[in-house]
């Protein structure tokens, strides 16, 4: 009896296994793996992506929390290539333990929806090790990640991720491509980290603080949301109207506010 028949998806792990062969092939083509690359798959599950990735790359790192999935995964990959398995909670995983040259780690995964946002923030800690990331995410989350200023979807998540990465939605995937089917639509997205020299200089802790506070009450103005951090005069000195809401600011505006806070001007 196969794992497909015996393993019951676990809700606490957010398991929705990808089973649509056409979608699997489309993801692999978009990712475009090559032999010799440092590729990490998050949440390999039953190996839907693992097998074609390993067939091409010949060496693959995978991070899987559910230890019950590992024997079958090892067995099906034994004759394909070298599979290095980390049985770990990815939210606590230190990606620095995978030794690679700078900006060379390629990461892919069908992410559990219940951890996708905290996982993205966790990965930002290792952004200088990463070449690119390709993830299957809830469509609503990708819409927020790729949102532009002035839209309803634009918020803290949009700003924080786009400060570090270019976000490109690639294609949508329906619930029937999974087992069990999720109750939401999914989207595959590509994330290309910006190199350090292409990121404007800013104290990142202050930047994160400003963004968090600016979006703390979406319907309130910057004057109200930032009153504990910046005076109205300081906001004006950044060439920003204190009476507008955070959703209308682009990333450069948030950087100016963060620098004002950092310099206490």
Total of domains in the chain:
2
Digit-coded pLDDT (tens) for 97-143: 998 888 899 999 998 888 999 999 999 999 989 999 999 999 999 99
- 149 contacts 247 by C-beta, under 8 angstroms: yes
Do 163 and 47 share a structural domain? yes
Digit-coded pLDDT (tens) for 44-70: 999 999 999 999 999 999 999 999 999
Do 223 and 136 share a structural domain? no
Do 209 and 143 share a structural domain? no
Residue 213's domain spans which residues? Answer: 204-263
Tell me: pLDDT of 196 over 80: no
The confidence score (pLDDT) of residue 154 equals 97
Which structure tokens are listed for 179? 């087992």
Question: First-to-last CA distance in the chain?
Answer: 68
| 90 band by pLDDT with thresholds 50, 70 and 90 | very high
Digit-coded pLDDT (tens) for 160-187: 999 999 999 999 999 999 988 988 999 9
The confidence score (pLDDT) of residue 16 equals 84
The confidence score (pLDDT) of residue 127 equals 92
Query: The whole model's pTM is what?
Result: 0.90
Contacts for 83 with CB less than 8 Å, ≥ 6 apart: 50, 54, 60, 62, 73, 74, 77
Q: CATH no. for residue 222?
A: 1.10.8.100
| 231 band by pLDDT with thresholds 50, 70 and 90 | very high
Do 209 and 124 share a structural domain? no
Q: Please provide residue 100's backbone torsions phi and psi, each rounded to the nearest 5 degrees.
A: -140, 160
């Amino acid at each position: 009896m196969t794992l497909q028949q015996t393993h019951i998806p676990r809700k606490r792990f957010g398991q929705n296994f990808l089973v649509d062969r056409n979608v699997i092939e489309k993801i692999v083509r978009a990712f475009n793996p090559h032999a010799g690359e440092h590729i990490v798959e998050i949440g390999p599950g039953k190996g839907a992506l693992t097998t074609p990735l390993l067939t091409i790359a010949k060496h693959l790192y995978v991070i899987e929390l559910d230890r019950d999935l590992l024997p079958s995964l090892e067995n099906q990959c034994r004759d394909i290539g070298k599979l290095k398995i980390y049985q770990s909670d990815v939210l606590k995983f230190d990606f620095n333990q995978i030794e690679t040259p700078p900006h060379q780690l390629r990461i892919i995964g069908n992410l559990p929806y219940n951890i996708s946002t905290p996982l993205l923030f966790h990965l930002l800690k290792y952004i200088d090790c990463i070449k690119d990331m390709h993830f299957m995410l809830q469509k609503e989350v990708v819409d927020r990640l790729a949102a532009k200023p002035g839209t309803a979807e634009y918020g803290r998540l949009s700003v924080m991720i786009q400060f570090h990465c270019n976000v490109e939605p690639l294609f949508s995937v329906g619930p029937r491509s999974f087992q069990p089917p999720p109750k939401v639509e999914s989207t595959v997205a590509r994330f290309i980290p910006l190199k350090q020299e292409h990121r404007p200089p800013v104290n990142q802790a202050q930047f994160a603080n400003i963004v968090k506070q600016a979006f703390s009450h979406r319907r309130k103005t910057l004057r109200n949301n930032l009153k504990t951090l910046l005076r109205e005069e300081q906001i004006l000195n950044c060439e920003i109207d204190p009476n507008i809401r955070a959703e209308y600011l682009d990333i450069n505006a948030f950087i100016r506010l963060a620098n004002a806070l950092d310099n206490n001007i």
